[in-house]
A and B are shown apart, each in its own frame.
Chain A
Amino acid sequence: MTALPTTTATAAAEASSNKRSRTPYLLIAPGVIWMLLFLVLPILMMVYVSFWTQTTFKIEPILTTKSWQTFFASDTYLGALWTTVRIWLIVLAATLLVGYPTALFVGLFVRNKTTATALLVLCVIPFWTSFLIRVLAWRPMLGKEGAINIILQHLHIVSQPIDALLFTELSVVIGMTQIYCVFMVGPIAFMLGRIDPSLIEAARDLGAGFGRIFRTIIFPLSLPGVVVGAIFVSVMVLGEFATAAALSGRKVNLLGNIIVTQVGSLKWAFAAVAGVVLTVIMGVVVAALLRLVDLKREL
């Protein structure tokens, strides 16, 4: 008599646990299908099309490596590849140099949580302005009659306006540094905020100067933040084209700009080759950065 209810209860429990173990898959399915169809498939398609035959106005699905050969034989494309890597390295270094002291201040020196949060919010508010407007805002700053030249002339630092500020590689680097450095500040400040203050006090009590404390304690402990920031900045800078188009006067051509112009002239296969090259560079960069620190363990 007692056995019967127990078995039904177990059966019910089994059925419900069965149902529950299937629930995550049902919940996750729409999202996964969406990502496979509209993220993975397009990337695969790009790889596939890079091997198609390009004629003047159309592409045909006849496999060939001709677009690849053209890419690596062309000075324009290789130049764009080199420019992309160079700008990426410069901007990465610049965002780190510009961002680190701010992160140090916010994460380590401001011990009041509210003030630290307020400072980070101040850093994020400019993101509420459209990306394109933020890029464009550098034109009246850097131009020959721009704000920076006017200020420099008023302070008698220069007598002639500096021409080289706008529509050069420098203007692209300045613009990108300003737009992306916050992605460096955030993660680093987060990691610095988690450092136990007694660790630093102990080092100080033992007679270490700030330089030594920074080198042996602060910087190593902030490294996961640097890596996360570097991944954000790298991926975004490598995929850039709008800043270069708006601030360089078409003098700086990144791989992203090559893709845009090739698509504009219906050279789909070349655009796809440039896209695949960009994907490979990004993959290598992110993998290399992830090897620097074991993020799963550190975060």
Chain B
Amino acid sequence: MHAPVLKPILAVYTALFLLFLYGPLLVLAILSFQSGPEGGPQFPIVEWSTYWYRDLFGLNPPSRIAPLPISDGLVRSLALALMTTVVSTVLGVMSAQAFRQKFTGSGFVFYLIVLGMMVPGVLVGLGTALLANSFGIDRHWWGTAFVLHVVYTFPFAFLVMLAIFNRFDPTIEEAAWSLGVPPGRTFRKVTFPLIFPGVLSAMLFCFTLSYDEFARTLFASGRDLTLPLAIYGTFAVEIHPNIFAFGVLTTLFSLALLGIYAILMSLSVRRAQRVLVQEEA
């Protein structure tokens, strides 16, 4: 579309829009290099330092500012995200596989699953807390919070796998069946390698969503805090640049995860291409 005036205006607008998205994070990253322990969470930067990064790892002499209570939470959040990823991805692959055939009630099942990602965390969290209370079940991050994390992430895995199976060529499986390969073996040897990039994407979704999940966990986990809950707890009191430094580090961690995903993805694509070339040769 050629609109000589409009296009540059919209381009400038989009640049400003990106600034709006990234601005706060940039400011946060700059302020994480504030000097400590007397430097506050605002401008001006008294002196550039890595004090608050060292603070996170407990490398500084004790000061009046309490360190962030994050180490236990980090372990719990990673474990919870791992558990959630495994269960949600398995459920997602199974459900999407079921949707490859027409069956009565598929419409209802589809909406039931998608509801899991749409219903706000406050509501399911509250409902689960009420349910656990009336049945006398203790709330724990590995119990009540875990099942809700699956409720939240399983729909994402399901939708990703549904999209993958949509582009899947069923004749390859049929070839295996007609050669007498049993369905279980066909899935392991033929279907799974082909959908593996999709499974990887589903896992990435589940892990990042669960790792960062907050509202559901707030209601459904007991006294042991996960990482987002520990961070939320610090909001009520005075904030210090250590939480900014922490934000920068978690962002880098998540981006590293994204990088690993990209590497695995390109490896599996390359392997698929190699197989294709071998077959043609």
Contacts and interface: CB of A to CB of B under 8 A. Distances in A.
B154 interface: yes
A3 B166 CA distance: 40
A109 B122 CA distance: 39
Contacts of A119: 14
A275 B123 contact: yes
Contact of A263 (B13, B129, B154): B129
B243 A136 contact: yes
Contact of A239 (B123, B150, B218, B235): B123
Contact of A139 (B43, B97, B148, B239): B239
A128 B251 contact: yes
B134 to A, nearest CB: 7
Contacts of A263: 126, 129, 219
Contacts of A188: none
B43 A140 contact: yes
B50 to A, nearest CB: 18
A81 to B, nearest CB: 14
Nearest to A254: B122
Contacts of A131: 212, 214, 228
Given A98-B20, A259-B122, A105 B247 contact: no
B interface residue count range (under 10 / 10 to 19 / 20 to 34 / 35 or more): 35 or more
Contacts of A256: 120, 122
A223 interface: no
A243 B128 CA distance: 23
B231 interface: yes
A275 B214 contact: no
A242 B148 contact: no
A145 B42 contact: yes
B23 interface: yes
Contacts of B3: 109, 210
Interface string A231-251: 000011011111001100000
B120 A42 contact: no
Interface string A252-285: 0000100110010000100110010011001000
Given A35-B116, A105-B13, A272-B130, A28 B98 contact: yes
Contacts of A246: 235
A32 B127 contact: no
Nearest to B235: A246
B95 interface: yes
Interface residues of A, number: 85
A39 B215 contact: no
A24 interface: yes
Interface stretch (A43-51, A66-74, A85-93): A43-51
Given A178-B20, A263-B219, A38 B147 contact: yes
Contacts of B123: 42-43, 46, 239, 275, 278-279
B145 to A, nearest CB: 11
Nearest to B23: A141
Contacts of B129: 263, 268
Nearest to B208: A128
B91 A30 contact: yes
B164 interface: no
Contacts of A200: 1
A140 B95 CA distance: 45
A43 B115 CA distance: 12
Contact of A42 (B23, B109, B131): B131
Contacts of B258: 128
Contacts, number: 239
Interface string A100-141: 011011101101000000010011011011111110111111
Given A34-B91, A35-B112, A263-B129, A239 B27 contact: no
A108 B7 CA distance: 10
B103 A21 contact: yes
Contact of B25 (A31, A111, A126, A238): A126
Nearest to A258: B122
A46 B126 contact: yes
Contacts of B151: 34-35, 38-39
A183 to B, nearest CB: 12
> Of A36, A98, A263, which is in contact with the most chain B CB atoms at under 10 Å from its CB?
A263
Given A38-B150, A43-B123, A128-B254, A242 B23 contact: no
Contact of B98 (A23, A106, A140, A275): A23
B11 interface: yes
B85 to A, nearest CB: 15
Nearest to A19: B183
A263 B216 CA distance: 13
B255 interface: yes
B245 to A, nearest CB: 11
Contact of B212 (A21, A44, A130, A145): A130
Contact of B235 (A36, A108, A128, A136): A136
Given A136-B239, A235-B119, A242-B232, 5 more contacts: A42-B130, A122-B18, A130-B250, A141-B27, A242-B214
Per CB-CB distance, the 9 closest pairs between chain A and chain B, nearest first, are A239-B120, A42-B127, A137-B24, A27-B98, A133-B247, A105-B10, A24-B98, A128-B254, A28-B98
